[in-house]
Structure 1
Amino acid sequence: MTAPSAQTDRFVLDRMPPRDQWPAFRYDLPELRFPDQVNIASRLLDEAVENKGWADRPLLRSPQLTLTYAETRERVDRIAGYLINELKLEPGNRVLLRGGNSIGMALSWLAIVKAGLVAVATMPLLRAAELVQVIDKGQPAAAICDARLLSELELAREKRPGMVRHVVHFGSPDDPQDLGALAARQPPLFRACPTAADDIALLAFTSGTTGMPKAVVHTHRDVLAACECWPRHVLKAAPDDVVTGSPPLAFTFGLGGLLVFPMWAGASVYYPDAPYNPETMVRQMREHGVTTCYTAPTFYRQMAPHAKAIGIPTLRHCVSAGEALPDATRQLWKEATGIEMLDGIGATEMFHIFISSAGAEVKRGAIGKVVPGYQAKVVDDEGREVPRGTIGKLAVIGPTGCRYMEDQRQAKYVHEGWNHPGDAFLQDEEDYFHYQARDDDMIITAGYNVGGPEVEDCLLAHPAVAECGVVGKPDEERGMIIKAVVVLKAGQTGDPAMVKALQDHVKSHIAPYKYPREIEFVTVLPRTETGKLQRFRLRQHTP
């Protein structure tokens, strides 16, 4: 860090991994060379109003309210003023954020980072026991919470008395203790904390597909670097875009796609009221002229019949990430809308997407090519690059990278400067990357390597299947057998005839040794709040 830190509370800075466990950072593109002193909120909001002529453009939208860039800045500045002037927080203090996707959540996140504080956003469905884990790890000085979600937070505070000194709520405009009312008393302008580019902006807790979550540290430089890579070179975000989607702002996929990337482009974001379903989401996208949608493959699959029936004429970009995109879902969506879905793989540890392709660059069956600003390769267990067409482990390097706060798993994620997200891939002769599985989800059966997502993709093409998950089950004879856990569409029966029909379908479409020797029918699959399939939970039920 060449600029001095503005964060007088060094709690996170002092709990970073040892330097020899850090990834290498590459800033090869001219747009990745930031000043040593920079603040995300100032860069994205103050400059939009003062230098880019976007003051009167809409930024944050909901069914009840639309705020321009200038109006957003005023509200952010008043909240930042309240945090510093009234709560007496100091730069570097952590602030726990609890809420779904809403204007109030977005304003609060921007105010926290503008004030030089550290945002610790949490998923709205977390319960008290899970919030206690976050509180123990991040030791927040304050919390900003949606009024509807206060009860679990208060239960967590009772278990950790004195650790979260201040709690304020938003979303209850008639309450004089609502954050909006309290902040309205503050001046309309707040001078952004002069954070160093490498000061901490957020702690992002991983979404829990493999059990205990980890706290990932991201700096102001990291978030701005992410804005200059995938949104610029692949998505090609534009000021006229209207963006919506389902990933939570507490998840870096949502924070990027549904807040900071649209701000970088001068675009606007529409936050639908929860709860919504696939049909209401499609109707709202049509009504509000949405051009860009972010969600997980499962939700695209559920929206497809409604999109076909209702139509979304303004829609141009459909971004899928968070879990593997089955080709069956890609083709279903394309048939319904005419739009080639934009797939990508990212990681909380890397902040956002680092492999992706759009439009004419899309290659069927591949996620895409490495995003400008990053480098990627497929390696063996010793970190040596494997020949093209060979399955191995993905390794990535670029302007963002993994730094866990006080976590021994750092040494597993970073090797010799390269980030290892834990995915099995192969790279073809045309530089496209093909996802196989999480590297601990590869199924080795009778000497064959089988990626569960490939079998899932095949099963999803069967007209009786709504959702499915595929895992390996220990077997004395074969080492593992392939097991499929299937949710059938309404009106279908999970009987022996259906088992045989699905097995025969797989055998006739991909290599016969990849067929599931065991099929279990369930009514729902275990997923994280971000929509990722929790295969580790499927494996727990396959003794």
Structure 2
Amino acid sequence: MTSLIEDYVNRVDFDSYEDFHKNFKITYPDNFNFGFDVIDKYAEIDPEKIALIWTNDEDEKHTFTFSDVKKYSNKIANFFTKKGIKKGDKVMLTLKNRYEFWFTMVALHKIGAVAIPATHMLKLHDIDFRIKNANVKLIVTVEEDRLIPDYEEAQKELGTDLVKCVIERDLDGWINFNKAIEEESDEFERPTGDDEVLADDISLIYFTSGTSGLPKMVAHKQTYGLGHIPTAKYWHKVEEDGIHHTAADTGWGKAVWGNFYGQWIAGSAVFIYDYDRFNGIKLLEKVIENKVNTFCAPPTIYRFLIKENIKGYDFSNIHHVTTAGEPLPPEVSKRFKEISGLRIKEGFGQTETVLTIATFDWIDAKLGSIGKPSPLFDVKLLNENDEEVDIGQEGEICIDVSHGISPGLFKEYYKNPEKQAAQWHDGYYHCGDTAWKDEDGYIHFIGRNDDIIKSSGYRIGPYEVESAVLSHESVSNCAITAYPDEIRGQIVKATIILQPGYEGSEELKKEIQNHVKRVTAPYKYPRLIEFVDEIPETISGKIRRVEIRNNDNKKE
């Protein structure tokens, strides 16, 4: 059994959350490089240690050791170098959950090039925007929907010299990625001199999902991966030589939160299911079949699972489950525990951060709470004057950076000094989310600042109302937004997709309203309900409440 976690932390074991929060520290050299210092070191000291277990809908299965990851990442690094990719160059990846993603990310870290993971669901204007604004030099993609023609059209529109690589295909104008890398050497020397990769260099850029406005480029340093040690070790509770799975496509930041950096540093393998079309039951079956020990998924997946017939499934190999991405409806948490015996532990973070607040190992899950702050960040809830609010009062989640910047907090909004100045000032990074803290130190998420509903003097967070609406048997999905009102300023509106077999009616609206009044504070109930077939979402699956509000304002 081997783990490299002790190379980067002052201590591994802690007696309590208080001990952890006060004493946990991450240390690293000035030239830290995840590719060489983690992957290649594992390949040296324990070459047969399992890194990645991969399967797909055709029941293909591959198991890769750290020695394999070293070999393939070196081949890719040599290929990229021959194509002119060097330190600081941008490489865009639309690889779904192909195993090549993991090798390629490691290769880019070794070179010091900048990875830009993206979803395969991008449209032409999304691709144009990313290639132009990030100055992308090379892409590696799967052949999916219109990705290939859209990349070609984007290259034509932008007039850019773009190296285009596709997985396992022979296409005109494209390099067959798998054939190309097989021809390369599996040895790659660590760069030195001007090419040496330093801990403060940019390694990764994510485009925010853009719930309002255009996506921003969030640039992370080489130390970003180290910032995920608390994510994996003390929240996911990954096991040394165990198997972890986080349900996430590689286009989203959640994929490297849960299936890459922290898990490997802490000594766990990761399991990847590369599906064509999502099916929650099939995912659960794959997780059980492959003996996954620790599991993380967004609340939507847990919500799907409890509505299916999963009684009788064997959860005995799964020891710990977690969730993040949006608040977990208490009803979902209760029902999943009844079925599986497992309590879901919540976490909170952003594209700009690693895990920031969570129900860590030593503390019990409290329904409605996202947990307590990570030791990496000095989290404070501040009012509009940057003053810390009292217990029970609402404040913006902020990170105090006046005493230094921890690994895991982003370096900058790339090429966007205005956004940087707006969010990062007066010694704080302002997250833009509102929350309150209870007397036990647990933090309760309310919502994005722009999404808070102000009605008759009350401030109402959308998530708590959505949770109440979703607990009605007729509701499949729901978005809560503010609707303008002359008397109250704003009222609560529910935009609802119904479960199959239900039809929208005035009677059903009244039934849902009364249900919400019973399960939460009556003043929060939706005075306006609209039944729809579709709710606007970002390409990362987050509800675009701003679009609903804008459409409602146009109707006024």
The two structures share one fold, judged by TM-score above 0.5: yes
Q: Partner letter of residue 420 of structure 1?
A: H
Q: Determine if contact 2:229/2:263 at 8 Å carries over to the other structure.
A: no
The aligned residue for residue 10 of structure 2 is: none
Q: Are residues 1:382 and 2:385 paired?
A: yes
Q: Which sits farther off after the overlay, 314-323 or 432-441?
A: 314-323
Q: Determine if contact 2:50/2:63 at 8 Å carries over to the other structure.
A: no
Q: Partner letter of residue 48 of structure 2?
A: A
CA shift for structure 1 position 151? 2.2
Task: Show CA shifts across 1:279-313 (max 9, x none).
Answer: 21111112111223332211211122243353333
Q: Are residues 1:241 and 2:242 paired?
A: yes
Q: C-alpha separation between the residues in 2 aligned to 1:485 and 1:270?
A: 36
Task: Show CA shifts across 1:194-228 (max 9, x none).
Answer: 3111011011111222231100110111222x123
SS at match of 1:419: strand
Task: Show CA shifts across 1:76-124 (max 9, x none).
Answer: 110111111x202221111111221220122212211211111111111
Q: TM-score, normalised by structure 1?
A: 0.90
Superposed, 1:359-378 pairs within 5 Å as 360-378=363-381
CA shift for structure 1 position 442? 0.7
Q: Which sits farther off after the overlay, 466-475 or 60-69?
A: 60-69
Superposed, 1:504-515 pairs within 5 Å as 504-515=514-525
The aligned residue for residue 344 of structure 2 is: 341
Q: C-alpha separation between the residues in 2 aligned to 1:327 and 1:80?
A: 46
Q: C-alpha separation between the residues in 2 aligned to 1:46 and 1:278?
A: 35
Q: Partner letter of residue 125 of structure 1?
A: M
Q: Determine if contact 1:123/1:251 at 8 Å carries over to the other structure.
A: yes
CA shift for structure 1 position 233? 2.7
Q: Are residues 1:268 and 2:269 paired?
A: yes
Q: Which sits farther off after the overlay, 166-175 or 108-117?
A: 166-175
Q: TM-score, normalised by structure 2?
A: 0.88
Superposed, 1:101-112 pairs within 5 Å as 101-112=97-108
Q: Partner letter of residue 37 of structure 1?
A: N
Q: Partner letter of residue 240 of structure 1?
A: D
Task: Show CA shifts across 1:38-82 (max 9, x none).
Answer: 11211220111113x253424242242221111121011101111
Alignment match of 1:38 (pick from 32, 40, 64): 32
SS at match of 2:31: coil
Q: Determine if contact 1:38/1:195 at 8 Å carries over to the other structure.
A: yes
Work out the number of aligned pairs and report it.
512
Q: Are residues 1:161 and 2:163 paired?
A: no
Q: C-alpha separation between the residues in 2 aligned to 1:342 and 1:258?
A: 18
Q: C-alpha separation between the residues in 2 aligned to 1:445 and 1:299?
A: 32
CA shift for structure 1 position 414? 1.2
The aligned residue for residue 429 of structure 2 is: 419
CA shift for structure 1 position 31? 4.3
The aligned residue for residue 414 of structure 2 is: 405
In structure 2, relative to structure 1, the CA distance for the partners of 1:223 and 1:29 (3 Å cut) is farther
Q: Are residues 1:50 and 2:44 paired?
A: yes
Q: Determine if contact 2:168/2:176 at 8 Å carries over to the other structure.
A: yes
The aligned residue for residue 75 of structure 2 is: 78
Q: Which runs of 5+ in 2 are unaligned?
A: 1-20
Q: C-alpha separation between the residues in 1 aligned to 2:310 and 2:190?
A: 43
Q: Determine if contact 2:87/2:112 at 8 Å carries over to the other structure.
A: yes
> Which one scores higher on RCO, CA 8 angstroms, separation ≥ 6?
1
Q: CA RMSD in A?
A: 2.1
Alignment match of 2:499 (pick from 469, 476, 489): 489
Q: C-alpha separation between the residues in 2 aligned to 1:525 and 1:312?
A: 33
Superposed, 1:444-455 pairs within 5 Å as 444-455=454-465
Superposed, 1:138-149 pairs within 5 Å as 138-148=134-144, 149=147
Q: Partner letter of residue 220 of structure 2?
A: H
Q: Are residues 1:120 and 2:116 paired?
A: yes
The aligned residue for residue 448 of structure 2 is: 438
Q: Partner letter of residue 44 of structure 1?
A: V
Q: Determine if contact 1:216/1:348 at 8 Å carries over to the other structure.
A: yes
Q: C-alpha separation between the residues in 2 aligned to 1:526 and 1:331?
A: 28
Identity %: 28
Q: Which sits farther off after the overlay, 506-515 or 198-207?
A: 506-515
Q: Partner letter of residue 188 of structure 2?
A: F
Superposed, 1:137-536 pairs within 5 Å as 137-148=133-144, 149-164=147-162, 166-172=163-169, 177-193=175-191, 194-224=196-226, 226-272=227-273, 273-304=275-306, 305-350=308-353, 352-358=354-360, 360-397=363-400, 399=406, 400-402=408-410, 403-407=412-416, 408-536=418-546
Q: C-alpha separation between the residues in 2 aligned to 1:306 and 1:48?
A: 41
CA shift for structure 1 position 523? 2.3
CA shift for structure 1 position 417? 2.5
Q: Determine if contact 1:377/1:385 at 8 Å carries over to the other structure.
A: yes
Q: Determine if contact 1:104/1:171 at 8 Å carries over to the other structure.
A: no
CA shift for structure 1 position 358? 4.2
Task: Show CA shifts across 1:376-431 (max 9, x none).
Answer: 11110111001110011111245133410121111121122222111110011111
CA shift for structure 1 position 518? 0.3
In structure 2, relative to structure 1, the CA distance for the partners of 1:307 and 1:411 (3 Å cut) is farther
